[in-house]
Amino acid sequence: MDEIFKQQVYEVAKLIPKGRVSTYGAIAKAVGYPNHSRHVGKAMGGCPEDVPAHRVISSSGVLSVPEFQPKLEAEGLTIDNLRIKNFKKLFWDPLEEL
C-alpha cells in the first residue's frame, strides 16, 4: 500500500473530534480516492497509536472492530449491539468539516 495514502488517511483520522465518528468511505473521499474505503480500513489496521482508529467505523454506523466499543463509550457514545446510537448526528464528514 502506498505510504503517502496511509499518511493522508492517518492525518484525516487524527482530526476526528473526541465523541464523534467518521467512516472508511468518508475518509477515502477526503483523501481523493472515493471508492477505496477498504484500503482505508486496511491502513487503519496498522496505524500508529496516536491515530484514533476507534473513531472510524462502517458507513452503516456499525463498529467493524468490537474491541473499540469501550474507547467510544469512554468518549460518551452509546453503542447498542455494535451500532452507534445517533450515528447521523455524531457523524463527522471531513469534506464538510475541514
Under 8 Å between Cβ of 16 and 56: yes
Q: What is the mean pLDDT of residues 50-78?
A: 96
pLDDT tens digits, 2-27: 999 999 999 999 999 999 999 999 99
| Residue 97 confidence class, pLDDT cut points 50, 70, 90 | confident
